[in-house]
Homo-oligomer: A and B are copies of this chain.
């Protein structure tokens, strides 16, 4: 008929549970998470925070290379993975240290990988242990959600009820691959949870210049599945959103996109100087919404955590990190001369021409490992 409005069954919801001081806004929404799990979440969040700080020092001292600090985004990541099973898959980008620690990655593996050793991806208990379901870091922005779609298609094909979560940033939503992943997921109704860590910046480009849409969550509407926003610095809200999305996915109702509204409190990577493009006041404002003290305030209100508990944990964590650093640095020394490993894992079997090149390098390095390592 002449001019009519097409009926579209959509809206974008925003969810938050804790206020900035850690008070519960609506008790009906508060998730039921067992105390020991809540405390484990806190312990890991604290570990992620301190490890991040320590890695920054190591980088400044030249002991490791570039990495992307996670500071400020811990709740947005951990609330998601805390709501998942171990058998669910995680497809990360490059800033998911907090989520990965929760999913079992070891501190040493990070240190090795950022120390320039791909063997960081080999350690037991690292991001790829036997039977692990965490994919390695994906550096090319926005390209990994498609792998999540393929994994989740395969899960469905095999009649399993696991789900796949993929993390990416606000900037990543501009890449064509993000669009193709969302569209495939919508068409095939795969059990995929698309988690956008909207930390307000893609290096120097603010969210407002990344795209002209009011929210990132509404992008899901273009693919015919739900998108929602959540206070990403509120671990409970993130948890609830992930739980709901996982339930949808497991019961065959298809994908969900979750936009976690959060903030990168630190630099983009250690190669970046954020003072070139953003105001200290903005950072200050977001510091007040820091997910860590907020979660701690909540736990204290529920009498699960005391200041002395925190102190104790802090101390333990510092020791744990120091041990990891000592272990990793020792390992790096051991590995320093294993250059020939660069020919490993290119193919299941090393083709003859690679073996020839490997022999050549071995001769050059003056070592004997030429022929049958």
List 5 A–B pairs whose Cβ atoms lie within 8 Å, in order of A's numbering: A4-B13, A6-B12, A174-B180, A212-B223, A221-B221
3 smallest A-B Cβ distances: which pairs? A176-B176, A212-B224, A186-B212
Q: Quick check: is A177 within 8 A (CB to CB) of the other chain?
A: yes
Tell whether, in the assembled complex, residue A3 and residue B14 are in contact, meaning their CB atoms are under 8 Å apart: yes
Kindly identify which residue among B26, B211, B222 contacts A219, using a CB–CB cutoff of 8 Å.
B222
Tell whether, in the assembled complex, residue A186 and residue B214 are in contact, meaning their CB atoms are under 8 Å apart: no
Q: Quick check: is A271 within 8 A (CB to CB) of the other chain?
A: no
Tell whether, in the assembled complex, residue B224 and residue A213 are in contact, meaning their CB atoms are under 8 Å apart: yes
Tell whether, in the assembled complex, residue B174 and residue A183 are in contact, meaning their CB atoms are under 8 Å apart: yes
Name the residue of chain B whose CB is nearest to the CB of A7: B214
Q: Mark A147-185, 1 if CB is under 8 A from B, else 0.
A: 000000000000000000000000000111111100100
Q: In the complex the two chains form, what is the Cα distance from A209 to B215 in whole Å?
A: 26
Given known contacts A2-B25, A212-B225, A213-B224, what 6 new A-B pairs fall within 8 Å (CB)? A2-B17, A4-B13, A4-B14, A176-B180, A214-B224, A219-B222
Q: Which residues of B contact A211 (CB under 8 A)?
A: 183, 186-187, 223-224
Q: In the complex the two chains form, what is the Cα distance from A183 to B15 in whole Å?
A: 26
Q: Quick check: is A16 within 8 A (CB to CB) of the other chain?
A: yes
Given A11-B8, A16-B2, A29-B3, also A221-B222 (CB < 8 A): yes
Q: Quick check: is A342 within 8 A (CB to CB) of the other chain?
A: no
Using a CB-CB cutoff of 8 Å, which residues 289-328 of chain A contact chain B? none
Kindly identify which residue among B5, B210, B214, B217 contacts A12, using a CB–CB cutoff of 8 Å.
B5
Most chain B Cβ neighbours within 10 Å, of A175, A212, A229: A212
